[in-house]
Chains A and B, each alone.
Chain A
Amino acid sequence: MMEREIISYTLEQLKAKGMDASCSLNQSTKYEMNVETGKITLIRTVFNNGLSLYAIKDNKSGSYSVNKLDRETIDQAIATVVEIAESSEPDPAHAIAEYQPSEVFCAGPRKPDEDLMYTRLEGFLEQVKSRYPKIIVENAYLDFTHQIRFIANTNGTDFTTEKGIYRFTSMFSAHDGDLSSSFNYTGFAAQELDRELLDYGSLDTLLAQSCEQITTQTLSGKFVGDVIITPDCLSDFLSYVFGITIYDGALISGTSVFKDKLGQQVADPRLVIHSRPVSPEVADGYFVTGDGYKAENCTIIDHGVLKTFLLTLYGANKTGLQRAVNNGGCYVIEPGEKSLDEIISQVDRGIIVARYSGGYPSQNGDFSGVAKNSYYIENGKIQYPISETMVSGNLISMLKNIVDISKERVDFGAGIYPWIAFSGVTISGK
């Protein structure tokens, strides 16, 4: 059977069993080049399929996914998802997306330029070697993934998405004799490799910083000061904040400290955070939500005001709140008015946190962790790179304690972030 036949057949079978159902079928090819210890070591080609079924009957629901598309597997998958769904506890919040007009979405190339990938990767290694001879590229992965997805349900929704994207990540450290920096890592996504890899994201900046971080100093004692969170690190902080406040789990369980804050000021008025999965400015976006709706862009925090939760259809039904128009991610934070240098110059005492290695924050927002690849600031100047330094504070309070947002931003392909300075964070050394 061809892909559309599989979808139609599967949905018809499930409908005949009295099920409301959705079905997603995807076919993907990943072509990946791997670097280990500064050398290209492996080329990997991954062909894969996916068939994901979600079925509901009498308010009972279940999901089953399998990665084969032959008739026997499909029939077995249909029988399995029916059994799983019928086994569940009833919950009237289960639902599938209502009818939406059919649409086809496309982004990015269909095939990789394999020679260009090799040239770019080899160029990256050569440039690192010449510009940053103390760097060891511990690993790097450059891949191109092409995926076609067919998403349909028994309400008549029928979407097709096709996407090709290059993604790159690398982990590296700098060495000088017996001394070495901590490792650091970064990456980006792009629809074309029209530049050298070093020109994307924050790669060049972080490699240069690693060389500075071969020798570090420790801070003594503790103080409350400012922290400037870098774009790489900010994406982690944002995931933590939203994870404990505006997604299904926190809102259904009632543990979110933002549960009653919709439409209210939760952050500094200068903070504007968008989620833009279908914007041309985000290369690695998505077209359809996990529960089968056409994705739309939204603003989550608008001048400090919480504008939306990121609830799925189930989460919305469960809480009586509104379903979000996307699944989050693809965050774009509006820039501020000051340069990073100006922001640093106004810090009496604090640190730049370039990587956070810490425990998951508590549900109330408390966090503590190690500031890795970070720098000490005093009297408006960066003093030296630091090690064995911990930061602790509360994420919810930090949103209101923004000192400044930089006008410079970094585009990672999956999000665009500035540097943000926060006050009132506890910084402790040895």
Chain B
Amino acid sequence: MQRIDLEKYTPLLAGYTELRAQENHVVSIGFLKGSNVRNVQSTTSGICARVYQHGSWGFASSPDFTDESVRQVIKAASANAAFLDGKQNKGKPDLPAKPLRAEHDFSTNKPRLTQKQLIEFTKQVDQYIAEKYPDLASRYVNLNCLDMEKQLLTSDGSHAYSFNPRALISITMTMDKDGNPVELFDVFGSRGQFEDVFNDPADLYKDIDLLYEQLRHKVEGVYAEPGVKDCILDADLGGILAHEAIGHTTEADLVLGGSVAARFMDKQVASPLISLVDFAHHALGELCPMPIFVDDEGTEAEDAVIIDQGILKTYLHSKESALHYGVKPTGNARAWSFSDEPLIRMRNTAILPGKDSLEDMIASIDDGYYLIRPNNGQADTTSEFMFGVVLGYEIKNGKLGRAIFDTTISGVAFDVLQTVTMVSNDMKWSVAGMCGKKQPMPVGMGGPAIKCKVNIGGR
């Protein structure tokens, strides 16, 4: 995206206004059973203004970066705010301001690969699978790269630039069992542009071999026995639990909308073994999967310790919700596209590691399940959740048993977290989190494995 001198528009900003220029660039390449079925790029960019007037907001956006379109979006956003303020007359005070300047660029310094080179890389991954595992009924290899670039100016004095890329390769394998397809997928990659994330297709072969082995186990698997069971939720499931079932209930807009967390502040909501943080950009000394240094309202992003040793300590805030609750904004206001307004969103949400080894955790269960990979998740504002599980194993007498077919786990998250008795001493981030809340949003999710009681579906 062209760098724009947003500061020259400062004189046009009357009252509290955010002016944001943004470009999302996507590359997507797919091979289905060896056919190059997907070969796509898209670039979506533009400028937007959001204006606050006594508690009412107006927003407008345009795909053009011209002076005239900037003037138009500011004018249209102001008119929208004025229209609503005239009708609603909320009379709310000004938003909190703490201006800052920041620039965080995670674009690669390496020469960019061409589309042909990206296709060749993806094809090599596909060919490895095809040649080594001819017994697969189907395979799908998909490369997806997302670059989000933002420039922000706020009337209260914040200036920010960010370039946040992510590169992922997802692999799905299908085997036939007695005429029925059995499928398993995994996703590889991380924060960064493709050149900084992937080097050689061969680097993925070990993971591909493991995925195939897991699929073989699953083909010979069994249905889970339904009911409340002792389970170990591995990092990906612990991460989705932290994000979907706890994190969303503590987003201040959902708290105001009646989420269960509204009555839990400073109360024991989980086992004392559980601490849960929405990290802004670094966690335990490492850069997070989706580092946010400044949010889309120009607020410096800070870690939000949601649960500290089992006690609910904070909600996630925008400027407006922080004003409502009389606290500091946490830097959680984020927008997906140039045409979207910032909403309260998580950044990198994780349970903190504990002291137990995974081996000891498995050994401690007589009859239960080790659940490894989710495919989707949804939670209620009551914290009742559901996660699809596509990879898991029985635990019998302290040892891993047969793999299980696709199933679903459910429960009330704040109740489930009270049942946690062990937390593993390692930490893993899920690389491909994409949250949905009016707008999509890339997020980080992660944590250790946790041992808890959870309701598992089955037959």
Contact = CB atoms under 8 A, between A and B. Distances in A.
A44 B60 contact: yes
Interface string B168-212: 000000100001111100000000000000000000000000000
Contacts of A370: 384, 386, 408, 410
A80 B41 contact: yes
A45 B60 contact: yes
A366 B37 CA distance: 27
Contact of B40 (A64, A180, A253): A64
Contact of B341 (A37, A44, A61): A44
B36 A88 contact: yes
A414 B58 CA distance: 29
Given A366-B406, A428-B227, A255 B57 contact: no
Contacts of B114: 83, 87
A42 B84 contact: yes
A200 to B, nearest CB: 20
B241 to A, nearest CB: 14
Interface stretch (B155-163, B345-353, B361-369, B387-395): B387-395
B459 A37 contact: no
Contacts of A430: 227-228, 455
A247 B59 CA distance: 38
Contact of A88 (B77, B119, B179): B119
Interface string A328-342: 000000000000000
Given A65-B42, A67-B44, A357 B37 contact: no
B3 interface: no
Given A43-B58, A45-B76, A370-B410, A87 B137 contact: no
Given A85-B39, A249-B32, A390-B226, A46 B339 contact: yes
B140 to A, nearest CB: 7
Interface stretch (B6-14, B95-103, B374-382): B374-382
Contact of A360 (B116, B180, B388): B388
A136 B42 contact: no
Interface residues of A, number: 76
A368 to B, nearest CB: 4
A359 B408 contact: yes
Interface string A346-380: 00000000000111111110101110100000000
B15 to A, nearest CB: 15
B57 A363 contact: no
Given A46-B339, A84-B115, A62 B380 contact: no
Interface stretch (B256-264, B308-316, B442-450): B256-264
B410 to A, nearest CB: 5
Given A318-B35, A370-B386, A62 B80 contact: no
B42 A64 contact: yes
B386 A254 contact: no
A392 interface: yes
Contacts of B354: none
A43 B43 CA distance: 26
Contacts of B37: 91, 248, 252, 314
Contact of B41 (A40, A61, A64): A64
Contacts of A181: 382
25 contacts: A39-B90, A40-B56, A65-B41, A83-B116, A91-B36, A139-B438, A141-B438, A183-B381, A222-B226, A253-B33, A253-B137, A253-B138, A257-B180, A358-B388, A359-B376, A359-B406, A360-B375, A361-B406, A366-B405, A369-B388, A387-B384, A388-B411, A390-B408, A392-B408, A428-B457
Q: Which 5 A-B pairs have the closest CB atoms?
A: A359-B388, A138-B257, A368-B457, A87-B116, A89-B36
Interface of B: 31-33, 35-37, 39-46, 55-64, 76-77, 80-81, 83-84, 87-88, 90, 114-116, 118-119, 123, 137-138, 140, 174, 179-183, 226-228, 253-254, 256-258, 260, 263, 339, 341, 374-376, 378, 380-382, 384, 386-390, 405-408, 410-412, 438, 455, 457-459
